[in-house]
Amino acid sequence: MNNLEKILEMWKEDSIIDEMKLDESSRDSAKLHSKYLEIYSVNKMKLKKLELDFKVILRDKFMHYNGKLSKEVMDEKGWEYDPLNGLTVLKGDMDKWYNADPIVQSHQAKMAYQKELCDTLKEIMENIKWRHQNIKNMIDWRRFTSGI
C-alpha cells in the first residue's frame, strides 16, 4: 500500500484504545506492529528504488544536456534534441536546468511523497512501540481515581 491518505485513515481507526477492553488493546499491539511494519518495509524499499532510479535519470539528463546522447536514445525517451534551445550555459549553471527539468521534478515529487509516506509509517511504528505505556497510564489513572 502506498497511499498516504489510506494509511492515515487506517491509523485513525487502529490508534483507538478501547478503555473498556484494555487487555485486548494491549494484545492488539503486536498485530498492529506487524501490520505497519510490513507496510513500512515495502514502502522503504520503494523509496530506495526511486532514489536509485533518480541517479540514472540524473546521469541521462547530464548526458542529454551536454549533447552526449545519441538521437536514437533521445527518440526512445521522447526527449528534445536541443534541451537548451541553442543557449550556451556555464557548467556551474547546469544545476538550474536540471532542477527545472519536468522529468527530474516529477521524479523528485515521487521521491518526496514516498519519503513522507515512510516518515509517517515510522511515526506510527513509534506510537505502537509505546502503546503499552499509554495503556499502563490509563490503568494507573483508573486506580488513582478509584482510590486503590
Report yes or no: 71 and 81 within 8 Å, Cβ to Cβ: yes
Give dist(CA 33, CA 46) in Å, integer.
20
**Does 55 reside within a domain?**
yes
Average pLDDT, the chain: 89
Kindly state whether residue 94 falls inside one of the protein's structural domains.
yes
CB-based contacts of 61-70 (< 8 A; 24+ apart in sequence): 61/98, 61/101, 61/103, 61/104, 62/94, 62/98, 65/89, 65/94, 65/97, 65/98
pLDDT of 59 > 90? The answer is: yes
Q: What is the pLDDT of residues 13-42, one digit of tens each?
A: 998 887 777 778 788 888 999 999 999 999
Please report whether residue 148 resides in a domain.
no
Average pLDDT rounded to a whole number, residues 107-130: 94
Residue 78 located in a structural domain: yes
- Overall number of domains in the chain: 1
Query: Domain range holding 62?
Result: 47-139
Inside any domain, residue 113: yes
Closest of 120, 126, 146, 123 to residue 4, by C-alpha: 120
pLDDT (average), residues 101-129: 95
* 57: in domain: yes
